Amino acid sequence: MPVWRNWAGNQQSRPSVIERPNSESQVAEVVMRAASNKQRVKVVGSGHSFTGIAVPDEVMIDLSNMNQVIEVDEEHGLVSVQAGIVLSDLNAFLETRCLSMPNLGDVTYQTIAGAVSTSTHGTGLCRTGLAAQIESFRLVTASGEIIVCSRQQHEDVFHHGRVSLGALGVITELTLRVIPAFNLRAVEQPMRIDHVLDNYSRLIEEHDFFEFYWVPHTNWALTKANNLSSDPVDSPGRFRTWFNKMFLENYAFGVLCRIGRLFPQLIPRLATVLPSTGRVEYVNISHRIFSSKRLVKFYEMEYSIALESLVPALREVMKMVDDRGYRISFPVEVRCTGSDDIPLSTSTGRRSAYIAVHMFKGSSYTEYFSDVEAILRKFEGRPHWGKIHNLHASEISILYPEFQRFIEVRNQLDPEGVFTNDYLRRVLGR
Ligand SMILES: Cc1cc2nc3c(=O)[nH]c(=O)nc-3n(C[C@H](O)[C@H](O)[C@H](O)COP(=O)(O)OP(=O)(O)OC[C@H]3O[C@@H](n4cnc5c(N)ncnc54)[C@H](O)[C@@H]3O)c2cc1C
Protein backbone atom coordinates (compact mmCIF):
# COMPACT_ATOMS: atom_id res chain seq x y z
CA MET A 1 0.00 0.00 0.00
CA PRO A 2 1.20 3.55 -0.72
CA VAL A 3 2.54 5.62 2.15
CA TRP A 4 0.35 8.49 3.38
CA ARG A 5 2.23 11.60 4.58
CA ASN A 6 1.03 14.89 5.99
CA TRP A 7 2.00 18.27 4.47
CA ALA A 8 4.96 18.83 6.77
CA GLY A 9 6.20 15.27 6.29
CA ASN A 10 6.48 14.59 10.03
CA GLN A 11 3.58 12.11 10.10
CA GLN A 12 3.21 9.07 7.91
CA SER A 13 1.50 5.71 7.77
CA ARG A 14 0.63 2.85 5.46
CA PRO A 15 -3.16 2.38 5.69
CA SER A 16 -4.34 -1.08 4.67
CA VAL A 17 -6.99 0.36 2.34
CA ILE A 18 -7.82 3.78 0.89
CA GLU A 19 -11.49 4.40 0.12
CA ARG A 20 -12.69 7.27 -2.06
CA PRO A 21 -16.49 7.25 -1.68
CA ASN A 22 -18.67 9.27 -4.05
CA SER A 23 -21.70 9.54 -1.80
CA GLU A 24 -22.85 9.54 1.79
CA SER A 25 -24.33 6.06 1.42
CA GLN A 26 -20.93 4.79 0.22
CA VAL A 27 -19.31 6.38 3.28
CA ALA A 28 -21.80 4.52 5.49
CA GLU A 29 -21.01 1.24 3.69
CA VAL A 30 -17.27 1.73 4.19
CA VAL A 31 -17.74 2.46 7.89
CA MET A 32 -20.08 -0.52 8.46
CA ARG A 33 -17.74 -2.89 6.62
CA ALA A 34 -14.74 -1.67 8.60
CA ALA A 35 -16.61 -1.86 11.91
CA SER A 36 -17.76 -5.42 11.25
CA ASN A 37 -14.13 -6.35 10.38
CA LYS A 38 -12.98 -4.68 13.62
CA GLN A 39 -10.91 -2.20 11.60
CA ARG A 40 -10.37 1.42 12.47
CA VAL A 41 -11.40 4.22 10.11
CA LYS A 42 -9.78 7.61 9.64
CA VAL A 43 -11.02 10.36 7.34
CA VAL A 44 -8.16 12.41 6.02
CA GLY A 45 -8.63 15.95 4.73
CA SER A 46 -5.72 17.76 3.09
CA GLY A 47 -3.21 16.38 5.61
CA HIS A 48 -2.39 19.86 6.89
CA SER A 49 -2.25 18.88 10.55
CA PHE A 50 1.18 18.60 12.13
CA THR A 51 -0.01 16.22 14.85
CA GLY A 52 -0.94 12.60 14.27
CA ILE A 53 -4.64 13.54 14.42
CA ALA A 54 -5.25 12.50 10.81
CA VAL A 55 -2.94 9.48 10.67
CA PRO A 56 -4.86 6.52 9.20
CA ASP A 57 -3.64 3.12 10.33
CA GLU A 58 -6.23 0.78 8.78
CA VAL A 59 -9.06 2.15 6.62
CA MET A 60 -8.40 5.62 5.25
CA ILE A 61 -11.29 7.63 3.79
CA ASP A 62 -10.43 10.33 1.29
CA LEU A 63 -13.41 12.62 0.57
CA SER A 64 -11.91 14.37 -2.45
CA ASN A 65 -14.79 13.05 -4.59
CA MET A 66 -17.23 14.72 -2.21
CA ASN A 67 -16.15 18.30 -2.75
CA GLN A 68 -19.14 20.12 -4.20
CA VAL A 69 -21.28 23.06 -3.15
CA ILE A 70 -24.77 21.63 -2.62
CA GLU A 71 -26.94 24.68 -2.10
CA VAL A 72 -26.78 28.40 -1.41
CA ASP A 73 -29.47 30.26 0.48
CA GLU A 74 -28.52 33.86 -0.23
CA GLU A 75 -31.46 35.30 1.65
CA HIS A 76 -30.47 33.65 4.94
CA GLY A 77 -26.70 33.68 4.33
CA LEU A 78 -26.24 29.91 4.33
CA VAL A 79 -24.19 27.63 2.14
CA SER A 80 -24.31 23.82 2.21
CA VAL A 81 -21.23 21.95 1.05
CA GLN A 82 -19.87 18.45 0.90
CA ALA A 83 -17.28 17.86 3.61
CA GLY A 84 -14.34 17.34 1.25
CA ILE A 85 -14.47 20.78 -0.36
CA VAL A 86 -11.18 22.66 -0.05
CA LEU A 87 -11.42 26.16 1.44
CA SER A 88 -9.87 27.85 -1.61
CA ASP A 89 -12.58 26.33 -3.86
CA LEU A 90 -15.28 27.35 -1.40
CA ASN A 91 -13.93 30.93 -1.32
CA ALA A 92 -13.81 31.10 -5.11
CA PHE A 93 -17.41 29.89 -5.29
CA LEU A 94 -18.63 32.32 -2.62
CA GLU A 95 -16.96 35.18 -4.47
CA THR A 96 -19.11 34.45 -7.53
CA ARG A 97 -22.20 34.85 -5.29
CA CYS A 98 -20.89 38.00 -3.56
CA LEU A 99 -20.64 36.05 -0.31
CA SER A 100 -17.75 35.34 2.01
CA MET A 101 -16.56 33.37 5.01
CA PRO A 102 -16.45 35.81 7.94
CA ASN A 103 -12.86 34.88 8.76
CA LEU A 104 -10.11 32.51 7.61
CA GLY A 105 -6.73 31.23 8.70
CA ASP A 106 -3.60 32.11 6.79
CA VAL A 107 -3.89 29.36 4.18
CA THR A 108 -6.83 27.76 2.37
CA TYR A 109 -5.48 24.36 1.35
CA GLN A 110 -7.51 22.60 4.07
CA THR A 111 -10.83 20.84 3.57
CA ILE A 112 -13.73 22.47 5.38
CA ALA A 113 -14.34 19.36 7.53
CA GLY A 114 -10.65 19.05 8.42
CA ALA A 115 -10.40 22.73 9.29
CA VAL A 116 -13.40 22.85 11.62
CA SER A 117 -12.55 19.50 13.23
CA THR A 118 -9.29 20.91 14.67
CA SER A 119 -10.66 24.36 15.61
CA THR A 120 -8.88 26.21 12.82
CA HIS A 121 -8.99 29.98 13.28
CA GLY A 122 -7.69 33.26 11.91
CA THR A 123 -7.37 36.53 13.77
CA GLY A 124 -9.77 39.27 14.88
CA LEU A 125 -11.57 39.84 18.15
CA CYS A 126 -14.81 40.54 16.34
CA ARG A 127 -14.82 37.04 14.83
CA THR A 128 -14.48 33.42 15.99
CA GLY A 129 -12.85 30.32 14.57
CA LEU A 130 -14.36 28.63 11.51
CA ALA A 131 -16.34 25.99 13.43
CA ALA A 132 -18.60 28.61 15.00
CA GLN A 133 -20.05 29.25 11.51
CA ILE A 134 -21.56 25.76 11.37
CA GLU A 135 -25.37 25.73 11.38
CA SER A 136 -25.76 22.00 10.81
CA PHE A 137 -23.88 18.93 9.62
CA ARG A 138 -24.56 15.36 8.60
CA LEU A 139 -22.64 12.62 10.35
CA VAL A 140 -22.06 8.95 9.60
CA THR A 141 -21.62 7.28 12.98
CA ALA A 142 -19.70 4.11 13.83
CA SER A 143 -22.85 2.00 13.35
CA GLY A 144 -23.30 3.40 9.84
CA GLU A 145 -26.29 5.47 10.90
CA ILE A 146 -26.63 8.88 9.22
CA ILE A 147 -27.75 11.69 11.51
CA VAL A 148 -28.50 15.35 10.91
CA CYS A 149 -27.11 17.55 13.68
CA SER A 150 -28.28 21.10 14.31
CA ARG A 151 -29.67 23.21 17.14
CA GLN A 152 -33.02 21.44 16.50
CA GLN A 153 -31.93 17.85 15.77
CA HIS A 154 -29.43 15.80 17.81
CA GLU A 155 -28.60 19.04 19.59
CA ASP A 156 -26.04 17.42 21.89
CA VAL A 157 -24.06 15.94 18.98
CA PHE A 158 -24.27 19.27 17.18
CA HIS A 159 -23.01 21.13 20.24
CA HIS A 160 -19.96 18.86 20.65
CA GLY A 161 -19.41 17.81 17.05
CA ARG A 162 -18.49 21.15 15.54
CA VAL A 163 -14.91 20.61 16.79
CA SER A 164 -14.76 16.82 17.00
CA LEU A 165 -11.12 15.91 16.20
CA GLY A 166 -12.66 13.40 13.80
CA ALA A 167 -13.60 11.30 16.84
CA LEU A 168 -17.39 11.23 16.51
CA GLY A 169 -17.80 9.94 12.96
CA VAL A 170 -17.52 11.04 9.35
CA ILE A 171 -18.98 14.44 8.55
CA THR A 172 -20.37 14.27 5.02
CA GLU A 173 -22.03 17.69 4.63
CA LEU A 174 -22.01 21.00 6.46
CA THR A 175 -24.18 24.08 6.32
CA LEU A 176 -22.25 27.22 7.15
CA ARG A 177 -23.26 30.76 7.92
CA VAL A 178 -21.71 33.15 5.43
CA ILE A 179 -21.88 36.93 5.09
CA PRO A 180 -21.97 39.43 2.22
CA ALA A 181 -18.59 39.69 0.49
CA PHE A 182 -16.36 42.39 1.94
CA ASN A 183 -13.12 44.10 1.09
CA LEU A 184 -10.26 44.66 3.50
CA ARG A 185 -7.71 47.45 3.64
CA ALA A 186 -4.44 45.82 4.65
CA VAL A 187 -1.58 47.74 6.22
CA GLU A 188 1.56 45.69 6.78
CA GLN A 189 4.47 47.33 8.54
CA PRO A 190 7.27 46.66 10.97
CA MET A 191 6.90 48.14 14.46
CA ARG A 192 9.06 47.96 17.56
CA ILE A 193 7.94 44.92 19.57
CA ASP A 194 7.77 46.99 22.77
CA HIS A 195 5.41 49.42 21.06
CA VAL A 196 3.17 46.54 19.93
CA LEU A 197 3.08 44.93 23.37
CA ASP A 198 2.56 48.23 25.21
CA ASN A 199 -0.37 49.03 22.90
CA TYR A 200 -1.68 45.52 22.29
CA SER A 201 -5.17 46.02 23.77
CA ARG A 202 -5.67 49.17 21.74
CA LEU A 203 -4.37 47.63 18.49
CA ILE A 204 -6.68 44.61 18.65
CA GLU A 205 -9.70 46.74 19.54
CA GLU A 206 -8.92 49.42 16.97
CA HIS A 207 -8.37 47.06 14.02
CA ASP A 208 -10.87 44.49 12.84
CA PHE A 209 -8.19 41.86 12.18
CA PHE A 210 -4.81 42.45 13.79
CA GLU A 211 -1.86 40.08 14.00
CA PHE A 212 1.87 40.34 14.36
CA TYR A 213 5.03 38.29 14.11
CA TRP A 214 7.83 38.89 16.58
CA VAL A 215 11.18 38.43 14.79
CA PRO A 216 13.46 36.55 17.22
CA HIS A 217 16.90 38.12 17.77
CA THR A 218 15.51 41.59 16.95
CA ASN A 219 13.34 44.19 18.68
CA TRP A 220 10.95 44.16 15.76
CA ALA A 221 7.50 42.85 15.00
CA LEU A 222 5.97 42.57 11.52
CA THR A 223 2.39 43.74 11.93
CA LYS A 224 -0.69 43.19 9.77
CA ALA A 225 -3.74 45.35 10.40
CA ASN A 226 -6.71 44.50 8.18
CA ASN A 227 -9.85 46.61 8.35
CA LEU A 228 -13.24 46.35 6.68
CA SER A 229 -13.32 48.75 3.78
CA SER A 230 -15.87 49.96 1.27
CA ASP A 231 -13.06 51.08 -1.06
CA PRO A 232 -12.62 49.24 -4.35
CA VAL A 233 -9.88 46.67 -4.83
CA ASP A 234 -6.56 48.48 -5.09
CA SER A 235 -3.82 45.90 -4.96
CA PRO A 236 -0.27 46.75 -5.96
CA GLY A 237 -0.40 45.08 -9.38
CA ARG A 238 0.44 41.54 -10.34
CA PHE A 239 4.21 41.90 -10.30
CA ARG A 240 4.29 43.75 -6.95
CA THR A 241 1.86 41.23 -5.42
CA TRP A 242 3.99 38.35 -6.70
CA PHE A 243 7.13 40.09 -5.38
CA ASN A 244 5.68 40.64 -1.89
CA LYS A 245 3.68 37.45 -1.43
CA MET A 246 5.64 34.90 -3.43
CA PHE A 247 9.18 36.21 -3.74
CA LEU A 248 9.71 37.83 -0.31
CA GLU A 249 7.43 35.63 1.83
CA ASN A 250 8.28 32.34 0.13
CA TYR A 251 11.37 32.20 -2.11
CA ALA A 252 13.62 34.74 -0.38
CA PHE A 253 12.43 33.66 3.07
CA GLY A 254 13.06 30.02 2.11
CA VAL A 255 16.64 30.89 1.15
CA LEU A 256 17.18 32.65 4.50
CA CYS A 257 15.83 29.57 6.30
CA ARG A 258 18.12 27.25 4.33
CA ILE A 259 21.17 29.37 5.11
CA GLY A 260 20.08 29.50 8.76
CA ARG A 261 19.71 25.72 8.92
CA LEU A 262 23.25 25.26 7.56
CA PHE A 263 24.81 28.07 9.60
CA PRO A 264 22.64 28.70 12.69
CA GLN A 265 25.16 31.22 14.02
CA LEU A 266 24.14 33.54 11.13
CA ILE A 267 20.42 33.56 12.07
CA PRO A 268 20.52 36.66 14.31
CA ARG A 269 22.13 38.65 11.47
CA LEU A 270 19.79 37.22 8.83
CA ALA A 271 16.81 38.08 11.06
CA THR A 272 17.56 41.80 10.77
CA VAL A 273 16.67 41.59 7.05
CA LEU A 274 13.02 40.73 7.79
CA PRO A 275 11.87 44.06 9.28
CA SER A 276 13.43 45.97 6.36
CA THR A 277 10.48 45.20 4.07
CA GLY A 278 8.86 48.58 4.81
CA ARG A 279 5.20 49.56 4.80
CA VAL A 280 2.66 48.20 2.32
CA GLU A 281 -1.00 49.20 2.03
CA TYR A 282 -3.62 47.77 -0.30
CA VAL A 283 -7.29 46.85 -0.60
CA ASN A 284 -8.53 43.46 -1.75
CA ILE A 285 -11.35 40.94 -1.36
CA SER A 286 -11.20 39.48 2.16
CA HIS A 287 -10.12 35.93 1.35
CA ARG A 288 -7.22 37.18 -0.78
CA ILE A 289 -5.96 39.15 2.22
CA PHE A 290 -6.62 36.63 4.98
CA SER A 291 -4.78 33.82 3.23
CA SER A 292 -1.74 33.40 1.06
CA LYS A 293 0.42 30.66 -0.40
CA ARG A 294 2.93 28.88 1.87
CA LEU A 295 5.70 27.20 -0.05
CA VAL A 296 8.30 27.07 2.73
CA LYS A 297 7.65 23.95 4.79
CA PHE A 298 7.89 24.03 8.56
CA TYR A 299 6.80 22.41 11.83
CA GLU A 300 4.45 24.35 14.07
CA MET A 301 3.13 24.44 17.62
CA GLU A 302 0.38 26.87 18.64
CA TYR A 303 -1.29 27.49 21.99
CA SER A 304 -4.31 29.57 22.83
CA ILE A 305 -4.30 31.51 26.10
CA ALA A 306 -6.70 34.02 27.63
CA LEU A 307 -6.35 37.34 25.84
CA GLU A 308 -5.20 39.16 28.99
CA SER A 309 -2.24 36.77 29.31
CA LEU A 310 -0.74 37.56 25.93
CA VAL A 311 1.72 40.27 26.94
CA PRO A 312 3.25 38.53 29.99
CA ALA A 313 3.32 35.17 28.19
CA LEU A 314 5.02 36.50 25.07
CA ARG A 315 7.55 38.46 27.12
CA GLU A 316 8.45 35.23 28.89
CA VAL A 317 8.85 33.41 25.59
CA MET A 318 11.08 36.21 24.26
CA LYS A 319 13.27 36.13 27.35
CA MET A 320 13.52 32.34 27.24
CA VAL A 321 14.67 32.42 23.58
CA ASP A 322 17.44 34.88 24.52
CA ASP A 323 18.41 33.11 27.74
CA ARG A 324 18.58 29.67 26.11
CA GLY A 325 20.54 30.97 23.12
CA TYR A 326 18.20 29.40 20.56
CA ARG A 327 18.68 30.33 16.90
CA ILE A 328 15.19 30.75 15.42
CA SER A 329 14.72 31.79 11.80
CA PHE A 330 10.89 31.76 11.85
CA PRO A 331 9.00 34.69 13.38
CA VAL A 332 6.65 33.94 16.29
CA GLU A 333 3.05 34.52 15.21
CA VAL A 334 0.46 36.16 17.47
CA ARG A 335 -3.27 36.26 16.73
CA CYS A 336 -6.51 36.66 18.67
CA THR A 337 -10.18 35.71 18.34
CA GLY A 338 -13.47 36.22 20.13
CA SER A 339 -14.83 33.45 22.33
CA ASP A 340 -17.31 30.73 21.34
CA ASP A 341 -19.35 28.01 23.06
CA ILE A 342 -17.98 24.93 21.28
CA PRO A 343 -16.75 22.47 23.94
CA LEU A 344 -13.41 21.54 22.31
CA SER A 345 -12.80 24.83 20.53
CA THR A 346 -9.49 26.32 21.64
CA SER A 347 -11.33 29.57 22.34
CA THR A 348 -14.28 28.08 24.18
CA GLY A 349 -15.53 30.41 26.89
CA ARG A 350 -12.77 32.97 26.60
CA ARG A 351 -11.49 35.66 24.27
CA SER A 352 -8.19 34.18 23.18
CA ALA A 353 -4.72 35.09 22.05
CA TYR A 354 -2.69 32.56 20.09
CA ILE A 355 1.07 32.20 20.15
CA ALA A 356 2.51 30.03 17.39
CA VAL A 357 6.13 28.94 17.02
CA HIS A 358 7.61 27.40 13.91
CA MET A 359 10.81 25.68 12.84
CA PHE A 360 12.04 25.22 9.29
CA LYS A 361 11.44 21.68 8.03
CA GLY A 362 14.46 19.48 8.73
CA SER A 363 15.53 21.49 11.81
CA SER A 364 15.27 20.10 15.31
CA TYR A 365 12.28 21.59 17.10
CA THR A 366 11.58 19.46 20.18
CA GLU A 367 13.56 21.41 22.76
CA TYR A 368 12.43 24.86 21.60
CA PHE A 369 8.77 23.80 21.39
CA SER A 370 8.93 22.12 24.82
CA ASP A 371 10.36 25.25 26.41
CA VAL A 372 7.65 27.42 24.84
CA GLU A 373 5.02 24.88 25.83
CA ALA A 374 6.17 24.93 29.47
CA ILE A 375 5.63 28.70 29.55
CA LEU A 376 2.24 28.63 27.84
CA ARG A 377 0.99 25.82 30.07
CA LYS A 378 1.53 28.09 33.07
CA PHE A 379 -1.02 30.41 31.42
CA GLU A 380 -3.57 27.57 31.07
CA GLY A 381 -2.71 27.29 27.41
CA ARG A 382 -4.73 25.01 25.18
CA PRO A 383 -2.81 23.39 22.31
CA HIS A 384 -4.12 23.59 18.75
CA TRP A 385 -5.39 20.08 18.00
CA GLY A 386 -3.65 20.04 14.62
CA LYS A 387 -0.30 21.46 15.73
CA ILE A 388 2.55 19.77 17.58
CA HIS A 389 2.24 19.50 21.37
CA ASN A 390 2.98 17.01 24.15
CA LEU A 391 -0.22 17.04 26.22
CA HIS A 392 -2.21 13.98 27.32
CA ALA A 393 -5.91 13.55 28.16
CA SER A 394 -5.29 14.01 31.90
CA GLU A 395 -3.78 17.46 31.26
CA ILE A 396 -6.20 18.44 28.52
CA SER A 397 -9.35 17.48 30.44
CA ILE A 398 -8.82 20.27 32.98
CA LEU A 399 -8.50 22.88 30.24
CA TYR A 400 -11.98 22.27 28.83
CA PRO A 401 -15.02 22.56 31.14
CA GLU A 402 -17.13 20.27 28.91
CA PHE A 403 -14.41 17.68 28.22
CA GLN A 404 -16.13 14.84 30.13
CA ARG A 405 -19.41 15.47 28.39
CA PHE A 406 -17.62 15.29 25.01
CA ILE A 407 -16.21 11.91 26.05
CA GLU A 408 -19.70 10.70 26.99
CA VAL A 409 -21.08 11.76 23.60
CA ARG A 410 -18.19 9.96 21.94
CA ASN A 411 -18.79 6.82 24.01
CA GLN A 412 -22.41 6.78 22.87
CA LEU A 413 -21.60 7.33 19.19
CA ASP A 414 -18.44 5.22 18.93
CA PRO A 415 -18.31 2.75 21.84
CA GLU A 416 -15.76 0.47 20.12
CA GLY A 417 -13.38 3.24 19.04
CA VAL A 418 -13.80 2.74 15.28
CA PHE A 419 -12.61 6.32 14.66
CA THR A 420 -9.72 6.37 17.09
CA ASN A 421 -5.99 6.39 16.40
CA ASP A 422 -2.82 6.81 18.50
CA TYR A 423 -3.17 10.60 18.73
CA LEU A 424 -6.81 10.44 19.82
CA ARG A 425 -5.96 7.79 22.40
CA ARG A 426 -3.38 10.21 23.80
CA VAL A 427 -5.52 13.34 23.91
CA LEU A 428 -8.95 11.80 24.62
CA GLY A 429 -7.86 8.86 26.74
CA ARG A 430 -8.89 6.00 24.42
C1 LIG B 1 0.75 25.73 6.11
C2 LIG B 1 -0.30 25.58 7.18
C3 LIG B 1 -0.98 26.70 7.62
C4 LIG B 1 -1.95 26.59 8.62
N5 LIG B 1 -2.60 27.72 9.03
C6 LIG B 1 -3.50 27.63 10.04
C7 LIG B 1 -4.17 28.79 10.52
O8 LIG B 1 -3.98 29.90 10.01
N9 LIG B 1 -5.02 28.65 11.56
C10 LIG B 1 -5.25 27.43 12.16
O11 LIG B 1 -6.01 27.37 13.13
N12 LIG B 1 -4.67 26.30 11.69
C13 LIG B 1 -3.81 26.38 10.65
N14 LIG B 1 -3.21 25.24 10.18
C15 LIG B 1 -3.66 23.94 10.72
C16 LIG B 1 -4.80 23.37 9.86
O17 LIG B 1 -5.80 24.32 9.62
C18 LIG B 1 -5.48 22.20 10.59
O19 LIG B 1 -4.54 21.26 10.98
C20 LIG B 1 -6.59 21.56 9.73
O21 LIG B 1 -7.20 20.54 10.48
C22 LIG B 1 -6.09 20.92 8.47
O23 LIG B 1 -7.19 20.58 7.65
P24 LIG B 1 -7.09 19.29 6.70
O25 LIG B 1 -8.19 19.33 5.72
O26 LIG B 1 -5.72 19.18 6.18
O27 LIG B 1 -7.41 18.15 7.76
P28 LIG B 1 -6.50 16.91 8.22
O29 LIG B 1 -5.26 17.44 8.84
O30 LIG B 1 -6.35 15.97 7.11
O31 LIG B 1 -7.45 16.28 9.34
C32 LIG B 1 -7.63 16.94 10.56
C33 LIG B 1 -8.71 16.22 11.38
O34 LIG B 1 -9.98 16.39 10.76
C35 LIG B 1 -10.60 15.13 10.63
N36 LIG B 1 -11.49 15.14 9.48
C37 LIG B 1 -11.19 15.50 8.22
N38 LIG B 1 -12.28 15.36 7.45
C39 LIG B 1 -13.27 14.90 8.25
C40 LIG B 1 -14.61 14.53 8.04
N41 LIG B 1 -15.19 14.64 6.84
N42 LIG B 1 -15.34 14.09 9.09
C43 LIG B 1 -14.79 13.98 10.32
N44 LIG B 1 -13.51 14.29 10.57
C45 LIG B 1 -12.77 14.76 9.55
C46 LIG B 1 -9.45 14.15 10.48
O47 LIG B 1 -9.85 12.82 10.76
C48 LIG B 1 -8.50 14.70 11.50
O49 LIG B 1 -8.92 14.28 12.77
C50 LIG B 1 -2.24 25.31 9.19
C51 LIG B 1 -1.57 24.18 8.73
C52 LIG B 1 -0.60 24.32 7.75
C53 LIG B 1 0.14 23.10 7.28
CA gyration radius, the chain: 21
Read off the pLDDT of residues 393-428 as tens digits, 9 standing for 90 and up.
999 999 999 999 999 999 999 999 999 999 999 999
Among 2-6, 76-80, 193-197, 240-244, the minimum mean pLDDT is found in: 240-244
- Ligand 1: nearest atom to the Cα of 384: 11
pLDDT tops 70 at residue 246: no
Q: How far is the CA of 416 from the centre of ligand 1 (A)?
A: 24
| Residue with CA nearest ligand 1 atom 36 | 114
- Amino acid at site 417: G
SS3 percent helix, strand, coil of the chain, rounded to 5, is 35, 25, 40
- Quick one: which atom of ligand 1 is closest to the CA of 106? 8
Position 255 scores a pLDDT of 72
Cα 183 to Cα 100: distance, rounded to the nearest angstrom: 10
Number of CB atoms found within 10 A of residue 406's CB = 22
Q: What is the pLDDT of residues 56-73, one digit of tens each?
A: 999 999 999 999 999 999
Note the pLDDT tens digit of each residue in 355-394: 999 999 999 999 999 999 999 999 999 999 999 999 999 9
| Domains within the chain, CATH numbers bracketed | 64-180 (3.30.465.10), 183-383 (3.40.462.10)
In short, whether 21's Cβ falls inside 6 Å of ligand 1 is no
E strand map for 273-414 = 280-285, 298-306, 332-337, 352-360, 382-383
Q: What whole-number distance in Å separates Cα of residue 89 and Cα of residue 94?
A: 9
124-152 pLDDT tens trace? 999 999 999 999 999 999 999 999 999 99
pLDDT class of 239 with cuts at 50, 70, 90:
low
pLDDT at 398: 98
Pocket test for ligand 1, best of 26, 110, 253, 303 (most atoms within 8 A of CB): 110
List beta partners, residue 134: 176
Q: Report how far residue 250's alpha carbon sits from residue 48's, in angstroms, rounded to the nearest whole number.
A: 18
